[in-house]
Structure 1
Amino acid sequence: MPQNRLTRLFQEKSGNLLNIYFTAGYPKLDDTVTILEELEAAGADLVEIGMPFSDPLADGPTIQASNQVALENGMSIRKLMAQLQGVRERVSLPIILMGYLNPVMQYGFERFCQDAAAVGVDGFILPDLPFAEYEEEYKPILEKYGLSLIFLITPQTSEARIRQIDALSSSFIYMVSSASTTGSQVQTNEGQQAYFSKVKGLGLRNPLLIGFGISDRPSFELACQSAHGAIIGSAFIKALQQPAEVRENVRSFLKTLR
């Protein structure tokens, strides 16, 4: 697979990578590119843009609520693709689209890949895309457009499946910190640390980013001890709810992390 911004990032920076998640069309419909610009300026390493869906299974109440607001604002995949037109003239950090299969299939899977690649997207997280179907049907389409698919692993994922995911991955593996939904705080309990240590000890070829429950500098730094970086979502969505202007909210939140 040809290099994209994601694979280059992991070659150039080996640790303390900060991945910020936000929901497209939230808090306002046209905030998407503004937030992207400010995240790059404030020092994020990569960005995950959530495509709003009415039933976001893995997401906790904060992100679910942002999905609802974004949908009410009129956000859709088609609208997001339009917003991202020309974004690569202003933003260089890797962009991942995160969402669920139903709206993507309605849009058309190959058309989705083609349009995303055309606006400069680097990869996708689609948690409900079945592994076998990806391998048999969708992998060639993603590769055709130079896109990465990022898989999630949890404390319940078997070593055999983790190794299978590692073999099929081309950028990084999303290491879910616990079996809960997003927004649940990372704990320093023995079980979680044993899970982190076990996965780190597998000698995987792909970098690991830890997500779910990373909300501030201590939890970010703790996660970075066990992985190449961490993903912050719910805490950033809460920061966007503050009364200040959206650019200021982005800058203020990232200052608390770095």
Structure 2
Amino acid sequence: MGKERIEKAIQQVIDNGDKAFIPYIMAGDGGLEKLEDQLLFLQNSGATVVELGVPFSDPVADGPTIQAAGLRALKAGVTLDKLLRKLKEIKDSIEVPVVLMTYINPLLQYGVEKLAIDAKAAGVSGFIIPDVPMEEEGIIAPYLSSEELALIRLVTITSPIERIKEIVSHSDGFVYAVTVAGITGARATLQSTLDSYLQKVKEVSPVPVLAGFGISTPEQVKQTSQHCDGVIVGSKVIEFIRGGKDQELVELIGASRLGIAVE
């Protein structure tokens, strides 16, 4: 089911000698009527999994680009309920696994037991919930697990190795390795300690490790992927979609498939 779809999709890419690429888009940025075409475009462009943001008024982990996309979606009237209804409507045409990135408040308001059931019916494969620490995830993890939905755990560049080990041991689908100490957003350079951090997470993780936050160029995709199983890119993907730069987006996704060695 959901967990298996994510794991199978990532493993297939790895078995082919490539790296996974997970683009992030904000659901309903430009209207929910565009969502099916957006997902199909990402699917056909080689996305391994799609991370789909749920618009929320207080997105603590999001940088300016994603915050702006969320505000546009909120102004368009997008809600979690409407999103799940739309996903259910289009799920038969979407083959790429979809993971919802959201915060705990909308999920509690929706009702976590109902959420898990409705998300599974809508073809959702899992959730990323950055404001729920491991110690508090009992409020939602059992409900997701009962519907075979993945709860993607996050580790950070400032996490002690003991905590990283504990988090990855509970991880579903893949581990989201946050590559910066801060919010999302494109960055010109990545921290020099990034390589050793990703290698450390990879050594202890029983599931694939994907790096996200701050990755925005094909060169960064290739460089970062050397030390993990793939990357997650959000702000730059949103910028390309909003700017109609389809070819640039295809090239960005393709950077994970063009050979991993960097001179």
Name the TM-score, length of structure 2 as normaliser: 0.89
**1:186/1:219 contact within 8 Å kept:** no
1:149-228 residue pairs with structure 2 within 5 A?
149-185=151-187, 187-200=189-202, 202-228=203-229
Q: Deviations over 1:188-242 (max 9, x none)?
A: 5432233223323x33211100001111210111111011000010001111221
User: One-letter code of the match for 1:118?
Assistant: A
Runs of 4+ aligned residues of structure 1 deviating over 3 Å after TM superposition are 249-252
Q: Which runs of 5+ in 2 are unaligned?
A: 255-263
**1:16/1:224 contact within 8 Å kept:** yes
Q: Does 1:68 align with 2:71?
A: yes
Q: Are residues 127 and 188 of structure 1, via their aligned partners in 2, closer, same or farther at CA, if it must alter by over 3 Å?
A: closer
Query: Which residue number in structure 1 is paired with residue 26 of structure 2?
Result: 23
Query: Which residue number in structure 2 is paired with residue 33 of structure 1?
Result: 36
**1:19/1:46 contact within 8 Å kept:** yes
Query: Which residue number in structure 2 is paired with residue 122 of structure 1?
Result: 125
**1:38/1:251 contact within 8 Å kept:** no
Give the counterpart of 1:112 among 115, 122, 136: 115
Query: CA–CA distance in 1 between the matches of 2:129 and 2:121?
Result: 19
Query: Which residue number in structure 2 is paired with residue 58 of structure 1?
Result: 61
What displacement does 1:256 show?
4.1
Q: Are residues 166 and 221 of structure 1, via their aligned partners in 2, closer, same or farther at CA, if it must alter by over 3 Å?
A: same
Report the more deviating stretch, 230-239 or 28-37: 28-37
**1:148/1:170 contact within 8 Å kept:** yes
User: One-letter code of the match for 1:233?
Assistant: G
Query: Which residue number in structure 2 is paired with residue 10 of structure 1?
Result: 10
Query: Which residue number in structure 1 is paired with residue 259 of structure 2?
Result: none
**2:174/2:208 contact within 8 Å kept:** yes
Query: Which residue number in structure 2 is paired with residue 240 of structure 1?
Result: 241
Q: Are residues 144 and 11 of structure 1, via their aligned partners in 2, closer, same or farther at CA, if it must alter by over 3 Å?
A: same
What displacement does 1:29 show?
3.4
Q: Are residues 113 and 186 of structure 1, via their aligned partners in 2, closer, same or farther at CA, if it must alter by over 3 Å?
A: farther
Report the more deviating stretch, 63-72 or 175-184: 175-184
Q: Percent identity?
A: 35
**1:17/1:230 contact within 8 Å kept:** yes
Q: Are residues 5 and 250 of structure 1, via their aligned partners in 2, closer, same or farther at CA, if it must alter by over 3 Å?
A: farther
Q: Which runs of 5+ in 1 are unaligned?
A: none
Q: Deviations over 1:106-133 (max 9, x none)?
A: 0111111111100110000011123123
Q: Deviations over 1:132-155 (max 9, x none)?
A: 232x44332111101000111111
**2:173/2:208 contact within 8 Å kept:** yes
Name the TM-score, length of structure 1 as normaliser: 0.91
What displacement does 1:88 show?
2.8
Aligned residues: 251
Query: Which residue number in structure 2 is paired with residue 147 of structure 1?
Result: 149
Query: CA–CA distance in 1 between the matches of 2:9 and 2:48?
Result: 8
Q: Secondary structure at the match of 1:53?
A: coil
**2:240/2:246 contact within 8 Å kept:** yes
**1:96/1:123 contact within 8 Å kept:** yes
